[in-house]
A and B are shown apart, each in its own frame.
Chain A
Amino acid sequence: MNETLTKELKLPEEKHPMENILRMDRIPHIWCSTCGIGIAVTSFAIALEKAKIPLDQVCVVSGIGCSGRVAGYVKLDSFHSTHGRAIPFATGLKLGNPKLKTIVFSGDGDLFGIGGNHFIHSARRNMDMLVLCINNFIYAMTGGQCAATTPLTANTSTSPYGNYEYPFNLPHLADSCGAVYVARWTALHVRRLANSITEALNKRGFSFIEIICPCSTIYARRNRLGSGLDIMKFYHDNSVIKHGANTKDLDIGYQSKIIVGKFVDRERPTFLDCLNDWNRKKFGDKFREYGGPDD
């Protein structure tokens, strides 16, 4: 950033402790007042610190949407990819350099509406990556269209009389496709969310964490649910922590109870493990294990 611009913006003298992983020249961010995405970013930053992963090995990939902006705000190797294609982009990164820790940070519309197919196949292959999905139940940035996660009867701009399509149960989808780590938290459970992300960062294989976030500008306004603070209070009164719950029972209805917790934590060989094992079996000594560009 050039000097005159910095002067005009008057960057504050004091430094927030998270400034080492945020691009401060882009803060304040574009997210609305009371939007929960910023809280998810803070939890992610805390988790990165706790997991003690060298920051030059971490890359963040986002798709399009409000949550897709995360890639632009974190001071890591980050990529803002096309709509729905964050997971294939991250797959390419991981296979190009298996030493990287790839994190996909995107929204429900991007990951499950536009890019749903990529999600199920990455989980099936157990591609080594962590998917953090901000679920605000709606396509927020594009004007509040009905998403694959919009609860039944909720009002959106494309379902003005209420939604009649059954939504996805995201943890169940991730579980049945083969994810090794599946959890769900709301934006209110900041500490549990940070612990969960730390755990998932240390896990090999396809991990998935759903983060339920308030969207005051679109979802709450269309459904007259009040401010972001009202929604946080709703989460406080209506979330039930049930670790290890059967993922089949995790549907979210309109303003219903939200079951949160860690549901799946298991081991499965990753895509690269399978590739190496199989080829070693087939070709014996002729096969050189693929571990990255340095090998």
Chain B
Amino acid sequence: MKFWRKPLDSDEIEVTIGEIHIIKDRCKGCAFCVEYCPKDVLELSDEFNVKGYHPPYVKNPDQCLFCKLCETICPEFAIWVTEKPKEEKKVES
């Protein structure tokens, strides 16, 4: 995400990092999660699931901010996010 200026409190804010879970066979390939993820984390894959749809895969796992928008907008209950424990977090430069 690009800021037009550096937020004043950016040192104090701890950025959460999410871990994405996808149940591929439940997905119907609508691409809502891919389109509306603010960090461009997901992309539709070329593989087919049992229903013949293309489920998404995690393209940029480090970028996920645990905003849960993909989880909320998925009509199939196929994708959700959990917060990564703190020690695994990387410091963003």
B32-82 residues at the A interface, CB under 8 angstroms:
32, 35-36, 51, 53, 69, 71-78, 80
CB of A92 closer than 8 Å to a CB of B: no
**Contact at A190–B26, with CB atoms within 8 Å?**
no
Q: A28-B26, A39-B72, A39-B74 are in contact. List 13 more A-B contacts (CB 8 A).
A: A12-B26, A16-B78, A31-B75, A33-B30, A34-B30, A35-B75, A37-B75, A38-B76, A39-B32, A43-B72, A194-B72, A228-B32, A229-B35
**Are A42 and B31 in touch, CB under 8 angstroms?**
no
Is A36's CB within 8 Å of the partner chain B? yes
Contact B77 A229 (CB under 8 A): no
Interface residues of A (CB under 8 A from B): 12, 14, 16-18, 22, 27-29, 31-39, 42-43, 46, 188, 190-191, 194, 228-229, 232-233
Q: Is the CB of A18 within 8 A of B77?
A: yes
A126 CB, min distance to chain B CBs, angstroms: 31
Within 8 Å CB of A194, what residues of B?
72
Contact yes or no, A14 B23, CB < 8 A: yes
The answer to whether the Cβ of B29 comes within 8 Å of any Cβ in the partner chain is yes
Q: Which residues of B contact A (CB under 8 A)?
A: 21, 23, 25-26, 28-32, 35-36, 51, 53, 69, 71-78, 80
- Contacts A33-B30, A232-B35 given: A16-B75 contact, CB under 8 Å? no
Instruction: Return chain B residues, CB-CB under 8 Å to A14.
Output: 21, 23
In the complex, residue of chain A having the shortest beta-carbon distance to the beta carbon of B67: A191
Q: Which of A32, A33, A232 has the most CB of B within 10 A?
A: A33
B75 pairs with A34, CB closer than 8 A:
yes
Q: Verify B23–A33 contact, CB threshold 8 A.
A: no
A190 to B75, CA, bound (A): 11
In angstroms, how far is the closest chain B Cβ from the Cβ of A118? 28
- In the assembled complex, which residues on chain A have CB atoms less than 8 Å from the CB atom of B72? 39, 42-43, 46, 190-191, 194
Chain A residue at smallest Cβ distance from B31: A229
- The smallest C-beta distance from B20 to any residue of chain A, in angstroms, reads 11
A188 to B28, CA, bound (A): 17
Q: Once bound together, how far apart are the Cα atoms of A111 and B6, in whole Å?
A: 50
Do residues B77 and A16 form an inter-chain contact, with CB atoms below 8 A? yes
Contacts of A17 in B (CB 8 A): 71, 80
Interchain residue pairs with CB less than 8 A apart (26): A12-B23, A12-B25, A12-B26, A14-B23, A16-B23, A18-B80, A28-B76, A31-B75, A32-B28, A33-B28, A33-B29, A34-B28, A34-B30, A38-B75, A39-B72, A39-B73, A39-B74, A39-B75, A42-B75, A188-B73, A228-B30, A229-B32, A229-B35, A232-B32, A232-B36, A233-B35
